[in-house]
Structure 1
Amino acid sequence: MEEMRFNQSTQTCYYGCRKCCLFPGMKSTCIPVVLFLLMLPNADAYDPLDPTGNITIKWDIVSWTADGYVAAVTMSNFQMYRSIMNPGWTLGWQWAKKEVIWSMVGAQTTEQGDCSKFKGNVPHCSKKNPIVVDLLPGVPYNQQFSNCFKAGVMSAWGQDPTGSVTAFQVSVGLAGTSNKTVKFPKNFNLLGPGLGYTCGPAKVVPSTVYLTPDRRRKTQALMTWNVACTYSQYLASRNPSCCVSFSYFYNETITPCPACACGCQNKNNCVMSDSKQAHRKGINTPRKDNAPLLQCTHHMCPIRVHWHVKLNYKDYCRVKIAITNFNYRMNYTQ
């Protein structure tokens, strides 16, 4: 089983219990209240862990071309705790007209599409709905762009601001060639790496201002628009992603996680803890759709959080929290 370390959400839950237990007469209701809050389904495009966090996609047009423009696209993860882990992000959108991608630096589309009608120059991608992924580390220098080739991995802003940004450059053809004729892409879709993100429409914002390397001159983009993508655990999964069990220092009875607490849709392809399959090569490799591979349990949850009340005084209580990761394909780190 893979190691799991405490993350910020776990610490917040622990501190909340301490505060709750400080109120006289509420010792018996402290843990049930926490359990109830953990089991509440989240609203669409809302993350209770970070209600104001989002991933912002900034689209800066840096130059016009004969049939379109060149844009620098920057993705910034402004979430405090939620990072994008391996196998990384996937970004898609729908062109407003018949645009094509002539070339890209720092990223690539997963498919080229049908380019048979083009004579001479062949586009990098001619699809109406391109899907873009980051480049892997070690790409040639002429394919690199600032903050790229991280294999799609992005840190959370609250944990590593320098690692929370990724960018690529795209040359778009058969498009507008001025601020009045250019059309925004629409229907943005972000996987990070699985479901959960909802992206709003593109909105024009003040043009991005750049400083020259000597920091003595300012330049600015010809046009800038932003797209904000927010996360919802309820969109990522209709079932909870963890369950909570409970025990008391003077009571031998353990209150376990309920049966199928996280749904039993993975019951047919789970792995027994004593099975040889749990040790086969490649079992820990994450999948692009973020599908879990769980150890067979009665609750079928990726994570179990066990609360054991060790001391229960008049003014405070002391709780030991044990967190177990039952997902063979995911590490959870701070």
Structure 2
Amino acid sequence: MMKPSAFYIAVFCFLLPALSIEAYDPLDPTGNITIRWDILSWTEDGYVAIVTIRNYQMYRHIEAPGWRLGWSWARGEVLWSMLGAETTERGDCSRFGGGVDGPPHCCDSSPKVVDLLPGVPYNQRISQCCRGGNLGSMVQDQAASASMFQMTVAAAGTTKKTVRRPKNFTLEAPGPGYTCGPARIVDPTRYPSPDRRRHTQALVSWNVVCTYSQFLASATPTCCVSLSSFYSKMLVSCRTCACGCKSNPGGCAGPNSPDLSPAPRVQCTSHMCPVRVHWHVKLNYKEYWRVKISVTNFNYKMNYTQWNLVVQHPNFNNMTTSYSFNSHSLGPYGDINDTTMFWGLEYFNDMLLEAGLEGNVRSDILFGKSKSSFTFANGWAFPRRIYFNGEECVMPPVDVYPRLPSSSRKPTSCVLDAAVTCILTLLCLAMSVWQ
């Protein structure tokens, strides 16, 4: 009989892959969002700091309504003023009175901070702020992958030894999904001076690393994949109830009554996914083969700005052209290129509109043929994984992929057929002479 301790170890080892796979992204193993807290100067009873939120994820970005950063103060600190961001609540500041400069910005022991919207007055801004909480990914929009705000903190320490690190950091982007570690002391950040001839250095710097888990973000998937090909009449649809069922709380809306339901609401389908990705093996040439990728939005209340797809397929080393999508090889495994990221062309199809006639984007992809690996057999022409906006899509079961039509014999060339006919004729003549 197995001992209790051995039993628990066995159960843990069995569950470990399932638990870790949700928080670890094999296509972006080092991706994270890092929060850098830099104290630039001391004040009479606290400090002035710049906080930078930087997205180091290759393809997962943050769109409207944007990020929301929270923490808990270590010993009753007060957020006296801010530039480039604001808190969602002020808290109880009655003990400070009005004062010459008015009450503090926020007296909450656990403030929640959001980015300012574009167009705020210049005197409320700092560099890399005020984009409504949007953060670009490293591949798609690295220039917009960071957001900054400045704040003055009172009732805090005034030296390296007396100041205390905030704790219990949270990041919503815009909903759950990120888990943040503790603030850790790192080498002080260096900032260029206005004339860029010299650098200034932060007095104290802390780092907080936040990692993403699709399981924490949503209890159900948010997209699915369907398949088809020129060599088969079979259309492989998304799995039934891939993202939930019509009977689930919240329901769905029919195509003729999308405005009668509260947001967010998706169109009634068998799969109930807000987004469907369709992969169609379109044509076969002598030296090339062609695929059509279509992305359809079934969400009546959501436009996907700066959408992206990440596709894993063994033939991306031989991809030659993407006709109306941008593309970039991610190559998470060194020289092996089996993963490519696609996104829309600026001002053309970089926004996936809400459900309706215009709620789709598509492009043809051209691949070269590799003599060592190319085949249409056994579902090789279809992707292994697809992500939409960083969320892994539900693939159909492998055993239902479109198959090549069966054939009773392999085709032969005209020359071979003629040779066979000639041999049979000679044999018949020889037999007649012998008889």
CA shift in 2, pair 1:266/1:86, >3 Å: farther
Name the residue aligned to 2:5. none
Name the residue aligned to 1:320. 292
Contact 1:244–1:305, Cα closer than 8 Å, also in 2 = yes
> Hey, what's the Cα distance between the residues in 1 that align with 2:271 and 2:137?
30
Correspondence for 1:128 among 109, 113, 117: 109
Deviation at 1:46, TM superposition (A): 2.6
Name the residue aligned to 1:19. none
Name the residue aligned to 1:34. none
> Hey, what's the Cα distance between the residues in 2 that align with 1:315 and 1:215?
53
Paired amino acid for 1:253: M
Paired amino acid for 2:303: M
CA shift in 2, pair 1:120/1:275, >3 Å: closer
Paired amino acid for 1:308: H
SS in structure 1 at match of 2:266: coil
Correspondence for 2:269 among 294, 297, 305: 297
Correspondence for 2:78 among 75, 85, 100: 100
Percent identical residues: 60
Name the residue aligned to 2:250. 268
> Hey, what's the Cα distance between the residues in 2 that align with 1:296 and 1:167?
41
Contact 1:105–1:143, Cα closer than 8 Å, also in 2 = yes
SS in structure 1 at match of 2:82: strand
Name the residue aligned to 1:15. none
Unmatched 5+ residue regions in structure 1? 1-39, 284-290
SS in structure 2 at match of 1:277: helix
> Hey, what's the Cα distance between the residues in 2 that align with 1:322 and 1:267?
29
Deviation at 1:171, TM superposition (A): 0.8
Of the two, which has the highest radius of gyration? 2
> Hey, what's the Cα distance between the residues in 1 that align with 2:59 and 2:129?
21
Deviation at 1:69, TM superposition (A): 0.9
1:169-248 equivalence runs, <5 A: 169-248=150-229
CA shift in 2, pair 1:194/1:139, >3 Å: same
> Hey, what's the Cα distance between the residues in 1 that align with 2:251 and 2:118?
33
Pairs aligned (count): 285
Contact 1:111–1:130, Cα closer than 8 Å, also in 2 = yes
Name the residue aligned to 1:43. 21
1:4-15 equivalence runs, <5 A: none
Contact 2:157–2:164, Cα closer than 8 Å, also in 1 = yes
Correspondence for 1:330 among 303, 324, 337: 303
Bigger RCO of structures 1 and 2 (CA < 8 A, at least 6 apart): 1
Contact 1:247–1:254, Cα closer than 8 Å, also in 2 = yes
Please state if 1:62 is matched with 2:40.
yes
RMSD of the TM alignment (CA)? 2.5
Name the residue aligned to 2:69. 91
Paired amino acid for 1:78: Y
Contact 2:258–2:267, Cα closer than 8 Å, also in 1 = no
Relative to the length of structure 2, the TM-score reads 0.61
| Cα displacement string for residues 257-306 of structure 1 (whole angstroms, at most 9, x for unaligned residues) | 2221112376634221122528x9xx8xxxxxxx7421111111122122
> Hey, what's the Cα distance between the residues in 2 that align with 1:41 and 1:306?
29
